[in-house]
Structure 1
Amino acid sequence: MTLPVALSGTDVIGQAKTGTGKTLGFGLPLLERVVVPADVEAGRAESGQLTEAPQALIVVPTRELCQQVTNDLLTAGKARNVRVLAIYGGRAYEPQVEALKKGVDVVVGTPGRLLDLAGQRKLNLKHIKCLVLDEADEMLDLGFLPDVEKIINMLPVKRQTMLFSATMPGAVIGLARRYMSQPTHIRATAPDDEGQTVANTAQFVYRAHSMDKPEMVSRILQAEGRGLAMIFCRTKRTAADIAEQLERRGFASGAVHGDLGQGAREQALRAFRNGKVDVLVCTDVAARGIDVEGVTHVINYQSPEDEKTYLHRIGRTGRAGAKGIAITLVDWDDIPRWQLINKALDLDFNDPVETYSSSPHLYEELSIPAGTKGVLPRTERTRAGLDAEEIEDLGETGARGSRGGSGSRGPARSRAGGRAPAEEAERPARTPRRRRRTRAGAPVEGEAAATAVVEADASPASTVASASSASAVSSGSSVAEEAAAPRTPRRRRRTRAGAEAPAAAAASASEEAAEVKPRRRRTRKSAESADS
């Protein structure tokens, strides 16, 4: 439905359920509009239309989605040698700047890094023919809107604009029309697929206690026929904690959340795609657009914030016609929030069944073998694990987190000057600074000679020599020069005579003290005898 409209150059608002191929819905028309050397050779374009600056721009909300869209477009544009570049934060600037200098046809990026490079004039946006906002409702949200507006203001006025997302509220569509020219709104749904959720995804909602959730998840992950699984949490701390608990229980798990460095995030996703890790615990950074084959189970460990987040989370399974299972664990405190989501999506789970890890209906509905415990048997621990996937050194900027955070930041730096210890050893020794005396802003004459001699040797003989040399210099000068000459500090010497005099004085003082008779005290008897 999208291809003929988009190929004609018309602005498009595309809306379809998750897993229906929206990336190629905007990617193929965009690749066709780009002029490459193959078009000039085939006679479809003139050589003057070629440019090294980007001709198309795709703006996405997350780094993971940026990488995925880039890989999809590289695969689709391989036959025509279309140059596609991913620009996102957490990586070093230099490789991205070098790629832009060599020439790029399509740029896929996140708003922050795009604005950075455009502000430094490393990214030229004057030749953009087509702008795409993927996950448009997120891009036009209050948080991203100022950055998106700045980017749009840098683009040519005459261009094609396309917006794509699985959820497109009316307010977002109204806002989007400010940047579009007579857009065509395409909403693609299957005739037999009613509602907003995908029919191939079986949904289960349980009321669960927070202290029993780790045990429930461990048993759900041992269900029959389970492939890859994604577990969504609301907070970064919960995601890290659950990933660690599952690892202790024997599962090959990885984590993706904002507190990890970019190297660790990409390591976890690569390990998940390659099958070294079969459980990915993540926050909502991985809820949009991530497409991994073989995801059979999605578990909402915590209730999502709203119905849009719920749709995007469970949309990681049941993609491209495959079947999937979505399980939501709702805490007692989250029941009101869940009921709002249930009403907005017109679901049948207004009052979730109270469920525990030992509940029989949990085993029956999710095909969990009887007798399953919360620890994975050693015979089933066949995955290589997260450590089998190497962390790529990305030259990260401001990396955080224990895995791949500070460790993947590149060369070690010292506290003092940000230089490695080996580099510091190569630097020559620093000459100590000499302090010079001045009087009224002018250097004092004779100071250099005196200080040079004093600093050369600190022995008593050299001190005497320095004093004599200083006096020799000053003796031949005028009275004014003598007054201005520096005074050599007088050194007090202790002689034998001088040492004996204090000793004699001390001895005489002690003798005098001994000769002084004690004062007699007058008593009553002595007074009476004196009177008589």
Structure 2
Amino acid sequence: MTTFADLGVDQDIIDALSARGITDSFPIQEQTIPLSLPGQDIIGQAKTGTGKTFGFGIPVVQRLGHDPAPGVQALIVVPTRELAVQVYEDIDMLASNRATSVVAIYGGKAYEGQIEQLRAGAQIVVGTPGRLIDLAGQRLLDLSGAAEVVLDEADKMLDLGFLPDIEKIFQKLPAVRHTQLFSATMPGPIVALARRFMSSPIHIRASDPDEGLAQANIRHLVYRAHALDKDEVIARILQAEGRGKTVIFTRTKRAAQKLVDELGDRGFNAGAVHGDMSQEARERSMAAFKAGRRDVLIATDVAARGIDVDDVTHVINHTVPDDEKNYLHRVGRTGRAGKTGIAITFVDWEDLHKWALINRALDFGKPDPAETYSSSPHLYADLDIPEGTKGRIATAPRTQAVKTRTRAPERAVDAAADGVDEGHTKRRRRRRRATAADRVGETFQDGTEPADGADTPSGEGSATEGAGTHDGGGTQHRDGKPAAARRRRRRRRSDAGSPTPGA
């Protein structure tokens, strides 16, 4: 393996990488870094999860120097908020031993913190097109000195319709600059963009472009599943031997939240990332997943490119993706950094035509997915699920919480088992308390309801009609207070001039 020192990377950046356990370079880094460090424009093409961020990030940080002047000198444009956060964290790590400041600029968060960092002199900006144009239009972001420019995930920007915004951003950049463009695929509009805004770029492919359509280190399993059985199937898959962090993709935001609730009820530690969540909630959920506090993440496609976690072992497609590109983007969350992974796709009966197109495009040779249920033996065999596994697990904290919440209902169940309903049980308790009151002489003075209406809720009637005492004995008022205490209160009112009984 080629080390970063072999590629000419500065020692302080090597130390920052080593602190993260990164010592050897990936093929895309080996090919791009030596050319990009002197200032050559680069078009980097490689499948997801192959280290493209360090491929462009190391040259950007190193070219700015150890102590760059305040002000925006480098701009990295990404298509989604989640990817902005991920790239920001990686670039900030690379610059951790330098006086270089990095800021993330994206929507869904307050302007104030981002503007404050810009005014403080941040030199590297990582941002999404919309917020970048917004701040630049307000003259809060000056890009005229950004001589280092990177477009990351350019094909995704094309899919999201960001190319007009990219052209607006390039108009605000200096004419002389060092530009890098990275993309998993190179459709025609991206090639045209590169020709317009790059100077004699070198096109580098980390591998053959046809390789990796179905990555060799990812095992692809496809099942024709019933919609009402999917949750049960997923719950059993999550108990497979060797299952680590797992990403589940759903088609809609509602389906994502419903699955989070369902898996949480079954005892799994699941989080979500989807468009109905606030940006802060999405970031917290993603951070918990990366840190291992949650081992299941349920996401819609908008978050797919921002899930950059090396130890994802399983990806589950709750519904079949729309096309082969979307499929590759989803399953690319596993099998990263040379590790192996498992991709599982559920195909509904009405989506068989979609799967047929994906199967043909990726040459899977699986035109007819096996009909699969949660009890199917081949499901257990394919995924190494222990025999006898059911779709629900129980953890100690959750069990204790359930016991605390359900203590009263359990008592009712126990009473019912003895042939006594819960209401009868309560009446027996009140009768025992009333008997105890009789023993100490705490009875009404004349055995009847007090005449003072202030002691009786309005419109409730008297105790002798069955609304006040539990058994007509006159020993216990409906509010549970002893008769003697009520008698003393009545006498005090009489002394103060209140009407006396019988007046």
Corresponding letter in the other structure for 2:206: A
Corresponding letter in the other structure for 1:14: G
Cα distance change on mapping 1:73 and 1:251 into 2, 3 Å: same
Match of 1:349 among 348, 352, 366: 366
* 2:387 counterpart residue number: 370
* 1:26 counterpart residue number: 56
Tell me, yes or no, if the aligned pair for 1:207 and 1:332 is still in contact at 8 Å.
yes
CA distance in 2, matches of 1:348, 1:380: 46
* 1:189 counterpart residue number: 207
Cα distance change on mapping 1:155 and 1:322 into 2, 3 Å: same
Question: Which segment drifts farther, 74-83 or 216-225?
Answer: 74-83
SS at 1:212 equivalent: helix
* 1:5 counterpart residue number: 35
TM-score by length of 1: 0.67
Corresponding letter in the other structure for 1:279: V
Match of 2:108 among 80, 90, 97: 90
* Deviation, structure 1 residue 276: 1.7
* Deviation, structure 1 residue 166: 2.2
TM-score by length of 2: 0.70
Within a 5 Å distance, the mapping from 1:35-434 to structure 2 comes to: 35-37=65-67, 51-141=69-159, 143-189=161-207, 194-378=211-395
SS at 2:45 equivalent: strand
Corresponding letter in the other structure for 2:288: A
CA distance in 2, matches of 1:34, 1:281: 38
CA distance in 1, matches of 2:38, 2:213: 29
Tell me, yes or no, if the aligned pair for 1:297 and 1:326 is still in contact at 8 Å.
yes
Is there any run of 5+ residues in structure 1 with no aligned partner, and where?
38-49, 385-532
Cα distance change on mapping 1:121 and 1:329 into 2, 3 Å: same
Aligned-pair identity in percent equals 61
1:441-494, CA deviations, whole angstroms, 9 ceiling, x for partnerless residues?
A: xxxxxxxxxxxxxxxxxxxxxxxxxxxxxxxxxxxxxxxxxxxxxxxxxxxxxx
* Deviation, structure 1 residue 285: 2.2
CA distance in 2, matches of 1:380, 1:314: 33
Tell me, yes or no, if the aligned pair for 2:267 and 2:394 is still in contact at 8 Å.
yes
Cα distance change on mapping 1:112 and 1:5 into 2, 3 Å: same
SS at 2:114 equivalent: helix
* Deviation, structure 1 residue 379: 6.0
Aligned length: 370
Dislocated runs of 4+, deviation >3 Å: 377-382
Larger Rg: 1
* Deviation, structure 1 residue 74: 1.1
C-alpha RMSD of the superposition = 2.1
Corresponding letter in the other structure for 1:32: Q
* Deviation, structure 1 residue 301: 0.6
* Deviation, structure 1 residue 345: 1.8
CA distance in 1, matches of 2:394, 2:110: 42
CA distance in 2, matches of 1:64, 1:32: 25
* 1:432 counterpart residue number: none
Cα distance change on mapping 1:212 and 1:342 into 2, 3 Å: same
Cα distance change on mapping 1:18 and 1:380 into 2, 3 Å: farther
CA distance in 1, matches of 2:99, 2:355: 48
CA distance in 2, matches of 1:3, 1:279: 35
Cα distance change on mapping 1:89 and 1:204 into 2, 3 Å: same
* Deviation, structure 1 residue 367: 0.5
* Deviation, structure 1 residue 374: 1.2
CA distance in 1, matches of 2:239, 2:208: 33
Tell me, yes or no, if the aligned pair for 1:287 and 1:309 is still in contact at 8 Å.
no
Tell me, yes or no, if the aligned pair for 2:81 and 2:306 is still in contact at 8 Å.
no
CA distance in 1, matches of 2:179, 2:235: 46
Corresponding letter in the other structure for 1:187: R
Tell me, yes or no, if the aligned pair for 1:273 and 1:293 is still in contact at 8 Å.
no
Corresponding letter in the other structure for 2:128: T
Within a 5 Å distance, the mapping from 1:431-450 to structure 2 comes to: none
Corresponding letter in the other structure for 2:383: L
